[in-house]
Every structure is written in C-alpha cells, then in structure tokens.
Amino acid sequence: MSAAIRTVVIRHPKERISKCSLRFLHDRPEITFLRGGRGFRFDATGFTLLAVDAPPLSPADADRPLLLLDSTWRWLPQLIGCLDGEPVARSIPGDVLTAYPRQSRVYEDPAAGLASVEALYLARRLLGDDDESLLDGYHWKAEFLAGLSGGDRRHP
C-alpha cells in the first residue's frame, strides 16, 4: 500500500457530527477537518475536489491532495462558495451505490451521491491507497463493500 493520501474535509457548520459518516476519522494524521461558515475561505488550488458531476477520478490524480466537502446536498452550494482558487473537480467513476439510508424529505439527493466516508474510501482506493480502515466506524461498511460491483471488490 502506498502512503496515505493527504485529505482536507470542510464540514458545513450545520452538519451534525453525531450523524456524520466521517466522525470516526478525526484522529487520522493525514486528514484535516475544517469547519466552514460565515467568513470562512479556503484556497483549493492544487486540490482534487470530489464532485458528483465532474470527470472521473483516475490514478493520474494521485499527485494532488483530496478535498471533500461534508454537507447535506442542500447546503453544498454554501460550502462551494467558500472555496477560492482552482481545484480540479473529479467524480467517483462507475455506478457505485451508497449503502447509507437516505432520509431527506425536503431535498432530492443525486443518484450518484455517496456518504462522505464512502466517497473518501473509494477516491483513495482509486488513487492507490486502498485502506479499508477508513470504513471501520461506518455502520454500513459491510453492505457498502459487498455492493461494490455486485460483491466484486476489485472495482469500481
């Protein structure tokens, strides 16, 4: 396994940590957690920004740190508005489905949307850092891993 990929997570201030799929990763040295909010700015230049409607992530993107915006879909535009610079937007390729039970009654989630921890795990795996321990505290870990390519964990 290669070195862990540096990752910055910007969390929306209304995102509840108790329900956050990333809450078990706060002690990981390669992951920096920041809280977005009024007046918050982040220079995303040189980062790979995980986004749903972007070109697919590939091993060619491994030279940049990851930037993950942790928010409900409804609040995501506010976090994007906090970014300065020119990040390189990339998506998770393939038809990967979330194992996280969605419950939004107000806002329709995109079909390709994943729980934050699922997106982080897959992005790092695609970049050569296949570290299942990222999913250790995730309640739906087994279901998510079993669902990757119909149970074949060699892909997305």
pLDDT confidence of residue 154: 40
Task: Give the residue among 24, 39, 27 at the shortest CA–CA distance from 81.
Answer: 39
pLDDT along the chain (156 residues), means of 10: 83 73 87 91 97 92 94 83 96 70 52 79 92 89 77 44
Q: 131: buried, middle or exposed (CB in 10 Å: 19+, 13-18, 0-12)?
A: middle
What is the model's pTM? 0.82
Please enumerate in sequence order all residues whose Cβ is within 8 A of that of 126, keeping only pairs 6 or more positions apart, or say none: 57, 58, 59, 92, 93, 156
pLDDT confidence of residue 38: 84
pLDDT confidence of residue 113: 66
Going from N- to C-terminal start, the domains of the chain cover: 7-151
Name the CA radius of gyration of the chain, rounded: 15
